[in-house]
């Protein structure tokens, strides 16, 4: 028997997401994506060539790119360097500490890109499954 909290969570998931729906004057509910497609069809502009991958909140997931990985490395590089300096002993030279930090970054960059690729593909598969009618939950 599910608890009250579990029942409320299940009911919330099954509710209609009103923030992504517009109601017309006739009372018809139109999804925001469908409305954008209608506007593009009316102006003669084509829609997007590929389907955009979105998460559960409806926010688009950007494709993995090396530019995003470089930004992430620029953020975490100094943090890793400081962490290596703090955790290394006094007998380790400064050059060795910098070398250790650079070695960690050499592993961090491709690993970060691979995580982005795996996550993007997982969201693609989940979205394709939901669009094909496989929305049944366990």
Is 93 or 135 the better-scoring residue by pLDDT?
A: 93
Same domain, 37 and 61: no
Beta-bridge partners for 60: 54
Instruction: For the chain, give the percent of residues with pLDDT over 90.
Output: 38
Count of structural domains within the chain: 2
List Cα–Cα distances, 128 to 30, 36, 97, in angstroms.
21, 20, 46
The domain boundary residue, chosen from 31, 50, 69: 50
Task: Give the model confidence (pLDDT) of 31-80 as tens digits.
Answer: 666 444 545 555 444 444 457 788 777 788 889 999 999 999 999 999 99
Same domain, 42 and 57: no
pLDDT on residue 71: 95
Same domain, 21 and 56: no
Same domain, 69 and 42: no
Same domain, 100 and 60: yes
Q: What is the mean pLDDT of the chain?
A: 79
Q: Is the pLDDT of residue 127 over 70?
A: yes
pLDDT on residue 45: 46
Domain holding 96, by residue range, is: 51-138
CA distance 77 to 109: 10
pLDDT on residue 31: 66
Contact 31, 21 (CB under 8 A): yes
pLDDT on residue 97: 93
């Amino acid at each position: 028997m599910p608890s009250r909290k579990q029942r409320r969570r299940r009911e919330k998931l099954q509710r209609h997401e009103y923030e992504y729906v517009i109601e017309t004057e006739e009372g018809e509910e139109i999804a925001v994506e469908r409305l954008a497609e209608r506007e593009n069809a009316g102006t003669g502009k084509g829609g997007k060539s590929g389907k955009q991958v979105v998460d559960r909140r409806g926010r688009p997931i950007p494709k993995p790119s090396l530019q995003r990985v470089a930004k992430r490395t620029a953020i975490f590089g100094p943090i890793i360097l400081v962490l290596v300096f703090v955790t290394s002993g006094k007998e380790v030279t400064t050059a060795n500490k910098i070398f250790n930090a650079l070695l960690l970054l050499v592993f961090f960059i491709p690993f970060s890109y691979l995580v982005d690729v795996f996550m993007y593909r997982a969201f693609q598969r989940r979205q394709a499954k939901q669009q094909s009618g496989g929305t049944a939950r366990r």
